[in-house]
Structures are given as structure tokens and as C-alpha cells.
Amino acid sequence: MYELSIRANGIKHELVINDNGSITRLTDFGMNLTEKHTPVYIDGLQVIMHNLEEVNKYAEKPIVQEDMVAVVAFTIDRMLRTTGKHARMLNLGDLDAGIYFQAAALKLFDEKNRLYCCGGWGSNQAAPSTTESQLRRFSQTMAKLGVSQQIIPFLGDSLQQLALIQNDYFDAIFLHEQRYGTVMEEMILAIKKLKPGGILMGYHCDCYFSELPPQIQNKDFTPDEQMDGGYHTGVIFALKVLFDDDYEKPLARSTVWKKTITTEVKAGILRQCLPPHDNEQFTRLISQCQALESGLSRLDRMEGGEQLMHEIGSMISACERIAADLAYRTGSTKLKLDIVQLKEQFLEAMMSFERKCEATFQSKVNETRSLLNDWSRTLRDDERRWMYES
């Protein structure tokens, strides 16, 4: 048996769960950064959770109480660490009565907070007419439960709809997908759409990868991997691959998991998931930029002579070839145009060198270095854009 309660911890309050003597803190009300006093949220939390029986009357399948507790607790914990206003969260792939709990938790902080809900065919490819009927029933249910003003529902393939949304937009995203390939794609896309510090949350995580039986840990799997031995292996494998089991699953009886997506986590995951060929090309060009800067600095001091001039020219030509390929793949024509302009300026410097016009030569080298700095900025901007927006 487990017991859910609000306990005082010094001058602050916490939502805790006592599972056979093992106590886990779910929400820290001491982190309240909003304008409302903590008792407002404690009272509201209790009302929301007591509505489980009523909400279950409208649910297509019984709502797991532990999952509801986890979702509400994590939502409130996230909101307490912000102003509690102007929040946007996304529930991806489900239009069922259980969404009430997320919407009610948001409403508790501010009437204008919004929960976007994408219901659609996704990996199941249900008929659009079916989802339209589902949408009507869902909207009617949310109105009866008093949270229709907080919910913005829409239909469509989850991956396609997620790709259309601007980056750094949501405070939290909830995933329902179970298949390995699809949930991996959703996680990576969702990370792009989350604000720094946002919460990525999902269902169907029975345990950590390290807790799976050895024969399941060592099995081969495909993008269609979903269940094995009673475990939701599609989700568990995806969490292992993406986060190396570094995520939270505080309720043993719940399949809900969550991961806080900091700026560092976002950059690391997206860099890891960048196609290796493209990642390698960006890395090579950035390294070449540094080598070119070093070479031009030596030229500025009239060191190295003709041999150094030819080495720099060869490096610029090599960069131009790689940049042309990247420009084609990323759609950034500026990446190619900037290196062409740099190359032309350096050719003028070479001609000045051959004519022994030292003053003109120094001027052309300085202009080349300035263009190199411009190209380096374009390169790094394109790298970030390719990581976060492709």
C-alpha cells in the first residue's frame, strides 16, 4: 500500500508518497516563485486528485491513479519554479479524459495557461473520420469537467504536427507513443520544442533498462520494438539510448518518467543525434577556421613566405568544397558565398605579395582575416540552426 500526503518540512511543505515505508518527495512547495500563496496550491491539488472517480466516468479505459499523481505532481512542481503564468504545455498523441488532470493543474496557477493536445493517427494510422469524432467527444468532456478554456486540441500525425511548431516554445511535453522508432523521433523533436529547463515526460516506462532481465537487455530490436516479456521495451530502450537511464521515475507503481531538459542536455542530445556525416563536416570546418586564423596571423608578421601562402590557399579551397556540400544539405547559401568572397580577397593578397607591394599586401591580409571572422560566425550559426531547427 502507498499513502499520499502533504507534510511540513520546517517552514515549507512537500507532497510526498509513502510506499511501504519508502518516502519519495514529488513536489516541493518551498520552491514557490509565483504570486499566490502555497496553501492555494495545496488545496487545489487535493481537489484535483479527489476528482479521479468523476473523471474515470468519461475515460475510455481506467486511469491509473499512480500515473495521475505523477503527472499532476510533476506539472505543479514545474509551475512552482516559474511565475506560474503564460505556460504552454503539449500532450502528444492522446485525447482522453485523463488530460483533465494536466489542464486542471495548469488552471490552478493561471486561467490563461494552455495545454495543447494533439490527437491523431500517428503510428496507428487511424482513419481521420474516427479522430474527428473523438475530438468532438473530447471537447465535450473537457467542457463538462471545467477545463475546456485551458485546452487547445488539434488533429494530425504527431511527428508532422510537432515538426511544424516553433522551437523553445513549451514548458513541458507529454508523450504517449510506445514504439521504439517513433518515440525516439518524438523525443528528439520534443527536445527542440522545449524551453531550456522544460520537462519531457512520458508513459509506458515499467523500469530502467538496467532492471530488465539480461535476455531482454541483450536482444536485438527494430524500430517497431514495443513489448517484450510484459515490459514496454520500446520506451525503455529509447530512454536508455537517448539519456543512458539518466531520468526520473520516482513512483515505482507508475510507468510515468520525466527528464528536465537543460540547455546543456539539449545541446548534447541534439549534437549526438545530428547525422554523423554533417557533424563531422562542421567539426572539420571549425578546425580549419582556427588553422586559417593562425596562418593569416603569421602572414601578418611577414612569416612563412610563399610556402605559407600556398598552404593557406589550399586550406581555403578545401573549406570551399566542404562548405559547398554543407550549403546544399542545409540550404544555407551564405555559407558558400562567404567562403568564395574570402577566397577572392586572399587571391588579391597573393598577387600583392608577388608584386612585393607590402602595404597593399598587409591591407588585403587584414581584410581576409575580417572575412574569415564573418565566415566563422556564419558557420557556427548554421551548425546551431542545423542542430536545433532541421
In angstroms, the CA 297 to CA 379 distance is: 20
Kindly list the structural domains of the chain, giving each domain's residue range(s) and its CATH number in brackets, ordered by start.
63-272 (3.40.50.150), 275-389 (1.20.120)
CB proximity list for 390: less than 8 A, separation 6 or greater: 330
Q: Read off the pLDDT band of 131 (50, 70, 90).
A: low
pLDDT for 126 beyond 60:
no
Q: Which carries the bigger pLDDT value, residue 348 or residue 4?
A: 348
Examine the pLDDT at 351 and tell me if it is beyond 70.
yes
**DSSP code string of 108-145:** HH-TT-EEEEEES-GGG---HHHHHHHHHHHHHHHHHT
d(CA 24, CA 383): 41
Candidates 154, 68, 134, 132; CA nearest to 104 is: 68
Tens of pLDDT, residues 76-87: 999 999 999 999
Average pLDDT over residues 228-239: 96
The cell numbers describing 137, all together, are: 467527444
Report the pLDDT value the prediction gives residue 326, as an integer from 0 to 100.
76
Output phi, psi for 255, to 5 deg: -95, 5
Q: Looking at residue 304, what is its pLDDT?
A: 57
pLDDT of residue 71: 93
CA–CA distance, 382 with 327 (Å, rounded to integer):
9
pLDDT at 123: 41
Instruction: Look at residue 122 in the predicted model and tell me its pLDDT.
Output: 43
pTM summary value = 0.72
Q: What is the pLDDT of residues 265-295, one digit of tens each?
A: 988 887 777 665 566 788 888 888 889 988 8
| pLDDT above 70 (res 328) | no
pLDDT value of residue 147: 97
Report the distance separating Cα 311 and Cα 317, nearest Å.
10
- For 156-211, where are the E strands, in sequence order? 170-175, 194-202
pLDDT tens-digit profile of 133-153? Answer: 788 889 999 999 999 999 999
**Cα(287)–Cα(290) distance, rounded to whole angstroms?**
5
pLDDT in tens, 29-69: 888 889 898 889 989 999 999 999 999 999 988 999 999 99
Task: Please give the grid coordinates belonging to residue 377.
Answer: 560566425
The 8-class DSSP code of residue 321 comes to H
Which residues pair with residue 151 across a beta bridge? 115
pLDDT for position 55: 96
pLDDT at 248 over 60: yes
Backbone angles phi, psi at 298, to 5 degrees: -65, -40
Question: By CB neighbour count within 10 A (0-12 exposed, 13-18 middle, 19+ buried), where does 167 fall?
Answer: middle
Q: Give the bridge partners for 328, in sequence order.
A: none
pLDDT at position 336 is 83
Q: In one letter, which amino acid is 199?
A: I
